[in-house]
Amino acid sequence: MTTYTNFKIETDADGIALVTWDMPDKSMNVFTLEVMEELEAIVDATVADDAVKGVVFTSGKKTFSGGADLTMIKGMFSMIGEEKAKDPEGAVKTLFDAAGRMSWLWRKIETNGKPWVSAINGTCMGGAFELSLACHGRVASNAKSVKMALPEVKVGIFPGAGGTQRVPRLANAQDALQMMTTGQSLTASRAKAMGLVHEVVEPDQLIAAAKAMIANGLKPVAPWDVKGFKAPGGGIWTPAAAQLWPAAPAILRRESAGNYPAALAILKCVYEGLQLPFDTGLKVEQRYFTEILQTTEAFSMIRSLFVSMQELGKGARRPAGIDKTEFRHVGVVGAGFMGASIAYVTAAAGIPVTLIDRDMDAATKGKTHSEGLVAGAVGKGRMTKEEGEKLLSLITPSADYGALSNADLVIEAVFEDRKVKKDVIEAVEAVLPETSIFASNTSTLPITGLAENSRRRDQFIGIHFFSPVEKMMLTEVILGEQTGDKALAVALDYVAAIKKTPIVVNDTRGFYVNRCVFRYINEAYDMLIEGVPPVMIENAAKFAGMPVGPLSLNDEVAIDLSYKIMKASIADLGPKSVKPEHMALVEKMVDVLGRLGRKNTKGFYDYPPKPAKKSLWPGLKDLYPQKKAESVDMTVLKERLLATIALEAARTIEEGIVTDPREADVGSILGFGFAPYTGGTLSYIDGMGVKAFVEMCERLAATYGEHFAPTPLLKDMAAKGDTFYTRFDPYGETQKAA
């Protein structure tokens, strides 16, 4: 049989061909054009070979497959842009054909006349799971690493290689819709319970079980190709469906505010497809997929949440020519909530960590935080008892700075006070090896100022974590004026080791994320003062695509923290840096009413004991004369909340704080959930066009204040027809897409 670059084929004495997908020089199998061509050749070859009775398809790597390849996705969007400019109608036809390539290849496997069994040995995502669904049998390993999902909706598209047609013909429609509109991952046992997998076996039995299915007479025909097939639950025209389908779009709108065209397309594909013959259903899916690929949302979300996130995670901003650091020992100074959490994620990455505080009691209390997290993970089955014990064994509490004498990296996470931090920097540097890096986890104090206390400012950097550290995927790496390349490389290596996504920003008050967050909160203050009903502020934010309203977010970060930051701004930058009305509002909430936020169970919301849910504090509407709800335009509220954040992101680019638009976009989504369907703050501007954004800002500025005035950079970009991704091209050459 022919040799293939990405596949290995071994046919046994029973005539079962084991096709092992194992791409050279890749840690994970992904679909490329070459892989698809080889796979089609394998189908043709196995059909033509009379000695082959059936095929078992598996992966030679720890994971099965992550789905489509970055370069293939980027290439598709580049093609859309270039072809549309030359021949708009022809471009859509070309796109339609490209969109169906995978779908019809999977259909070819399904109808090839010989049984195929997918043996799933690890993470199986997207197109790879759709390929498995087109096989006649599916066996999954019960290893904890096995996860199956159709997560495409999370990046603005949907399962367009038969997923919307096969899943609801195997599982009931409600489970199918839930799985695809949320992109949720399934364990092997859940997939079997839903009817998506036939068998779940021990890892070492996987191939034997798959071969046994063929040997036992597996028919090479999909259920829907058998005459008289009915979908689980009876399809669309049943009493159960009459309850599901009228509610489904309403539930989707409640969850997504209509901001995700791909999620609605899933509903349409399933509803229409279940009323049609299977091949016609696939064509319907292909048409919707072609339509969704042309939306701004799909382009922006794929660019930021798929392409850029992977590029940043793989070290797009790491300086070249510096050896990768393998961390043997990390120190964390400050065993409070943040320091204890940083120690936990460090140990979870398998790195020994010393947790320092002023005395052993405080340091040991910090380790207790990790013990609680481990107990929770073990209780939920996310970690074995042995894994938990190993993690905890890597955390050593101490009150002795001498324990840091062989640390590769030390992170300080002490109280936000310059004097306290100065003392820590000096104490650590007295014992730290000359080649090691010192990082500060400050959230408010500029790194350049803190580095003045250091004897080696080129090895001083900021690594800003977000709370809760174990859940938040973003870290801001902050460069002081004298931070060197070695410090940056080590910081990025550490962030990669703890499996988080970094953005690199230059030094400024509030860095990038907090500057944007406080614009969001400040706009809500303006709205409250204008008399906009508080519930409308929170709902407008959710309709705009934000995960939480600005008042709820302020409660989470603490209203007294906002108060401290305002006072620090006035002390450092003068009284004009804070609006007096904002100061009066926050002062009243904190000093007069004692409403500090969630931490003392009363802020803009009231927090009753569980299981009761939080609710807006009724007294909030008595602070200012209230407007009638019908006089407030929800569209304008949504524009204000998104535009004020996007403007701040544009200012950070103009000031040279953020230098790569990918980082502004990814940082805004991972850092505070900026409306993911936009692709992030700068993609929001690029998506509507800089000219349209400038016009919107000028309209808002005329009514709501000068803080909406577009910046000189934005005006210049609007005049020249630029976008952020062309003006500040992260790839070094202007590209039309991605």
**For residue 128, what are its two tokens?**
């790879």
Q: Is 341:372 a contact under the CB 8 Å cutoff?
A: no
Residue 369 catalytic? Answer: no
Q: How many CA atoms lie within 13 A of 575 on its CB side?
A: 3
427-435 LR contacts (CB < 8 Å, sep 24+): 427/401, 428/331, 428/333, 428/401, 428/404, 429/454, 429/455, 429/456, 430/401, 431/401, 431/402, 431/404, 431/405, 432/404, 432/405, 432/407, 433/405, 433/406, 433/407
DSSP letters, 395-443, are EEEES-GGGGTT-SEEEE---S-HHHHHHHHHHHHTTS-TT-EEEE--S
| Torsion region of 461: left, alpha or beta (phi above 0 gives left; psi -120 to 50 gives alpha) | beta
- Cα–Cα distances in angstroms (integers) from residue 303 to residues 81, 219, 556, in the given order: 14, 41, 30
Q: How many CA atoms lie within 13 A of 72 on its CB side?
A: 15
Helix (H) or strand (E) holding 116: strand 116-120
Helix (H) or strand (E) holding 128: helix 127-134
Q: How far apart, in whole angstroms, are the C-alpha atoms of residue 119 and residue 116? A: 10
| Site of tokens 């997908």 | 21
- In terms of Cβ atoms closer than 10 Å to its own Cβ (0-12, 13-18, 19+), residue 230 is exposed
Q: Between β-strands 16-21 and 54-59, what pairing exists: parallel, antiparallel or unpaired?
A: parallel
Q: How many CA atoms lie within 13 A of 463 on its CB side?
A: 29
- In terms of Cβ atoms closer than 10 Å to its own Cβ (0-12, 13-18, 19+), residue 237 is exposed
Report the largest interatomic distance among the alpha carbons of the chain, rounded to a whole angstrom. 86
351 alpha carbon, distance to own chain's centre: 24
Of these residues, 329, 464, 582, 707, which one is catalytic? 464
Phi, psi values for residue 706, rounded to 5°: -65, -20
DSSP state of 453: T
Helix (H) or strand (E) holding 447: helix 447-451
Q: Between β-strands 137-141 and 199-201, what pairing exists: parallel, antiparallel or unpaired?
A: parallel
617 alpha carbon, distance to own chain's centre: 32
DSSP state of 149: E
Which are the catalytic amino acids? 464
